[in-house]
Structure formats: C-alpha cells, structure tokens
C-alpha cells in the first residue's frame, strides 16, 4: 500500500546530546502567513511516529485563517530516528532531553505542544525541567496516572501480535486488536492507521520501531502500583491545558481526568467519541476542538 501521506512537509534531521541521529517533519507555511502565531510541536506515543500527526499537521499548517508551523518528532528508536544501541536509553528522561535538543536545533524557543500517550508523559517532565518552552499543552489520552490494565493490554499486543504478510493483513490485524474500542473508524481510517504504524519494506509492512521498546514492557511488575506524575502535573497549572480522552480508552480513567480538572481549574476536557487509546486527532470534532483551543493561544 503506497504512502500517500508523504508530502506537505520538510524532513529535518538533528543530533541528540549523545550523538544519535534523530528525525522530525516540519510543516512550515511562510513566515508571513504564521506571523504572530507560535508553532505547534507534536510528540507521538510509545511505538508511534510522526505519521500519526500527518493529517492534523496538514489541517493546522494549511488553515486558511490561522495557519501555524507544525513540527512532529520521531523519538529515538522510532520511525526515521536511529535505534539506540543502549536500550536503557529508551526512557522518559532521555527522550525529554531529545525534545529539548530538537527545539534548539530547529530554532523553537516556545511552542504549543501536543503529546499523545508517552509524548504527554514527556511533556510532564518538560514542564518540570524546561517550562520556558511551553506556551500551552494538549495531552492526548494521557495523564499523571496510567491504568495498569491498559498498559498490560499494550504490552501484550505489542509483544504477542503476528507480523502481517501484506498491507491487507496489516489492516485486518489492527482492526482485530482495536476494533472494539475504535468503533467510529471507517475503512480508510484503518488504512491510514496501518500506514502510520508500519513502514513499507519491499512492499511488505514492517513495524516501525525498535522491538526493544516493546520488550521493556515485560519487565514491569504489575503487582506493584505504577508511579504517578502528579508532582510534575502541578507544573502545568500556569499554562493553558487541554485534555483529550478517548471514550473507550483503557489507559486514562475518568477518575484521573476528573482529578486533573479539579487540580487545573481552566483545563479543557474533550471526549473523542467512538475512539480508544489513543484518539486519532483529525477525526470527528476533535480537530475543530484543537483549532478552537489554538485560537486562544499566542
């Protein structure tokens, strides 16, 4: 299945503090078109990559009234970024440092950040260590508390799934795994999900991340409480904050979302109907909600 989502941006490469070659997509309208509006920086989930944000990035960067520059990063070991020989470096602190390095390399002094799942966890750390980078934050189906049940599901399907023989099977596998939680997706949406998750290698879909990232989930002791990030979440209190929660998510409980709203009095909560973890941001009314949120940002 050919990649029909490979235009509308410039490819950028930069070097991490420890010398790894990392990748970003830069959707850059003219400076005149975006004058006075800060860029949007997108951080993907655990095993995902820049392609997850492509439809949304096109919508935001080509908006007829208020276009913005949009930059999406591939974390180390994902997408077009290099795999790390030291597998212990696949951790939130190192990856947060990579985001800081990317902003320096691409001249981003301040931005609105969107973090999907693990990308949102990284934003918790950046809020605590480099708050000057954050103008506003959108968290996509993630908060300070991760539901163990949801993480177990992710561990199991990442480590136990079969490899697709062709693109048709790739779509079928994704539908089998996620069909009950993503009830709103049409056939084209499933194809787009396959294109985002898999890389085409000689006409065959191949998972586009270092397998060590999924392997690391096996070492988590789920008999013990997972650590939370409430202390870091408090650092977001002074920022405009939007939380997108999938209606059928297993990773972010309604109780956690409610507590986030209690602690952040101006938090905007948006429910992505008919979607699980993590919502596709260009579908339904979610992209319109994001654009409304951005309209209130510098």
147-187: pLDDT as tens digits = 999 999 999 999 987 889 999 999 999 999 999 999 999 99
What are the two backbone dihedrals, phi and then psi, of residue 264, each rounded to the nearest 5 degrees?
Answer: -120, 100
- Environment class of 160 (CB within 10 Å of its CB; exposed 0-12, middle 13-18, buried 19+): exposed
Place of tokens 């609105």: 112
Full-model pTM: 0.96
pLDDT one-digit tens code per residue, 226-258: 999 999 999 999 999 999 999 999 999 999 999
**Mean pLDDT score, 90-97:** 98
How far is the CA of 45 from the CAs of 39, 48, 184, 277, in angstroms? 20, 5, 21, 10
Percentage of residues of the chain with pLDDT beyond 90: 94
pLDDT one-digit tens code per residue, 188-198: 999 999 999 99
| In 32-118, beta strands by DSSP E | 40-43, 70-74, 111-116
How far is the CA of 290 from the CAs of 2, 165, 270, in angstroms? 29, 37, 9
Q: How many other β-carbons are positioned within 10 Å of the β-carbon of residue 123?
A: 30
- Structure confidence at residue 4 as a pLDDT band (50, 70, 90): low
CA distance 242 to 239: 10
Name the helix (H) or strand (E) containing 128: helix 118-129
CA distance 122 to 117: 9
pLDDT one-digit tens code per residue, 14-59: 999 999 999 999 999 988 899 999 999 999 999 999 999 999 999 9
pLDDT one-digit tens code per residue, 260-281: 999 999 999 999 999 999 999 9
**Mean pLDDT score, 55-77:** 97
DSSP 8-state secondary structure symbol assigned to residue 106:
T
CATH class for the region spanning 10-147+227-295: alpha beta
- Environment class of 230 (CB within 10 Å of its CB; exposed 0-12, middle 13-18, buried 19+): middle
CA distance 135 to 110: 6
What pLDDT, on a 0 to 100 scale, did the predictor assign at position 31?
87
| In the chain, beta strands by DSSP E | 10-15, 21-27, 40-43, 70-74, 111-116, 134-140, 198-201, 204-207, 241-246, 268-272
Place of tokens 């990559």: 49
Residue 6 has pLDDT above 90, yes or no: no
Structure tokens at 171: 């779509």
**Mean pLDDT score, 84-94:** 98
Residue ranges of domains in the chain: 10-147+227-295
**3-state DSSP call for residue 39?**
coil
Size of the chain, expressed as the number of residues it contains: 298
What pLDDT, on a 0 to 100 scale, did the predictor assign at position 160?
84
**Mean pLDDT score, 120-125:** 98
Name the helix (H) or strand (E) containing 154: helix 148-160
């Amino acid at each position: 299945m050919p990649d029909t989502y490979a235009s509308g941006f410039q490819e950028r490469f930069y070097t991490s503090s420890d010398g790894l070659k990392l990748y970003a997509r830069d959707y850059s309208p003219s400076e005149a078109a975006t004058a006075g509006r800060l860029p949007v920086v997108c951080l993907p989930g655990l095993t995902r990559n820049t392609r997850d944000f492509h439809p949304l990035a096109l919508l935001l960067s080509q908006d007829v009234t208020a276009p913005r520059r949009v930059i999406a990063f591939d974390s180390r070991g994902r997408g077009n970024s290099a795999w790390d020989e030291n597998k212990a470096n696949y951790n939130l602190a190192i990856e947060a440092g990579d985001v800081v390095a990317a902003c320096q390399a691409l001249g981003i002094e301040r931005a609105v950040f969107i973090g999907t799942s693990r990308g949102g966890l990284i934003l918790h750390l950046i809020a605590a260590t480099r708050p000057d980078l954050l103008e506003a934050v959108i968290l996509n189906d993630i908060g300070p508390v991760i539901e163990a049940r949801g993480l177990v599901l992710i561990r199991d399907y990442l480590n136990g799934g079969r490899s697709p023989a062709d693109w048709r099977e790739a779509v079928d596998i994704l539908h089998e795994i996620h069909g009950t939680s993503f009830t709103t997706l049409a056939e084209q949406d499933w194809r787009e999900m396959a294109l985002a998750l898999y890389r085409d290698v000689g006409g065959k879909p191949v998972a586009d991340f270092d397998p060590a990232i999924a392997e690391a989930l096996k070492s988590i002791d789920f008999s013990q409480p997972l650590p939370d990030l409430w202390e870091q979440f408090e650092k977001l209190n002074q920022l405009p904050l939007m939380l997108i929660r999938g209606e059928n998510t297993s990773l972010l409980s309604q109780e956690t979302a409610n507590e986030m709203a209690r602690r952040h009095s101006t938090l905007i909560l948006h429910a992505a109907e008919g979607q699980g973890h993590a919502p596709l941001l260009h579908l339904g009314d979610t992209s319109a909600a994001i654009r409304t949120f951005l309209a209130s940002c510098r």
